[in-house]
């Protein structure tokens, strides 16, 4: 079996998350992965990633992660995306940039940058639920 490149690992992870296939996604996450969902907080490892994403994606009918730009530098992967989330009554769009580090075929670091105010304007129910 040939080792996957860092971009291949991140792409496989993102495709699984787009489909809300958490089991397939978290196999790409290292046990000691550091995940920062800026500005929402930090999680660790596959269970932490899943604990953040699964409840967020729960009301979403469909995801589309449109890659706008991507770059790699050794084990580091940058992906600028437009995340589109279809709710039962509308689409919510959020520009996001993700920074990943891949070692030994697993994501060991992942930080997402987005503007929370943009998300809350498009999805006010989310802000109300956050308190």
What CATH number is given to the structural domain containing 88? 3.10.450.50
Question: Which residue range(s) make up the domain with 52?
Answer: 6-130
- Per residue in 11-54, pLDDT (tens digit) is 999 999 999 999 999 999 999 999 999 877 899 999 999 999 99
User: Is 87 a member of any domain?
Assistant: yes
- Per residue in 73-100, pLDDT (tens digit) is 999 999 999 999 999 999 999 999 999 9
Residue for token pair 């706008």: 68
Q: How many domains does the chain have?
A: 1
d(CA 29, CA 32): 8
Residue 1 has pLDDT above 60, yes or no: no
127 — pLDDT class (breaks 50, 70, 90) = confident
2 — pLDDT class (breaks 50, 70, 90) = low
Q: Tell the burial category of 102 from Cβ atoms under 10 Å away from its Cβ (0-12, 13-18, 19+).
A: buried
> What is the SS3 assignment for 40?
coil
User: Is 1 a member of any domain?
Assistant: no
User: Is 25 a member of any domain?
Assistant: yes
Query: Are the C-beta atoms of 13 and 5 separated by less than 8 Å?
Result: no
User: Is 51 a member of any domain?
Assistant: yes
pTM of the model: 0.93
Instruction: Go through 46-76 and write b for each residue having 16 or more CB atoms within 10 A of its CB, e for each that does not.
Output: bebbbebbeeeeeeeeeeebeeeeeeeeebe
User: Is 89 a member of any domain?
Assistant: yes
Instruction: State the sign of the Cα–Cα–Cα–Cα dihedral 113, 31, 49, 81.
Output: positive
User: Is 30 a member of any domain?
Assistant: yes
Query: Are the C-beta atoms of 126 and 119 separated by less than 8 Å?
Result: yes
């Amino acid at each position: 079996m040939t080792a996957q490149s860092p971009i291949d690992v991140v792409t496989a992870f993102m495709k699984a998350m787009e489909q809300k296939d958490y089991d397939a996604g978290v196999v790409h996450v290292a046990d000691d992965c550091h995940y920062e969902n800026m500005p929402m907080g930090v999680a660790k490892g596959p269970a932490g990633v899943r604990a953040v994403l699964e409840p967020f994606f729960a009301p979403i009918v469909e995801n589309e992660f449109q890659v706008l730009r991507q770059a790699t530098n050794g084990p580091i992967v940058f992906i600028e995306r437009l995340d589109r989330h279809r709710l039962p009554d509308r689409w919510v769009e959020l520009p996001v940039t993700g920074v990943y580090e891949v070692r030994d075929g697993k994501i060991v670091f992942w930080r997402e940058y987005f503007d929370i105010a943009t998300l809350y304007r498009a999805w006010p129910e989310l802000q109300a639920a956050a308190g």
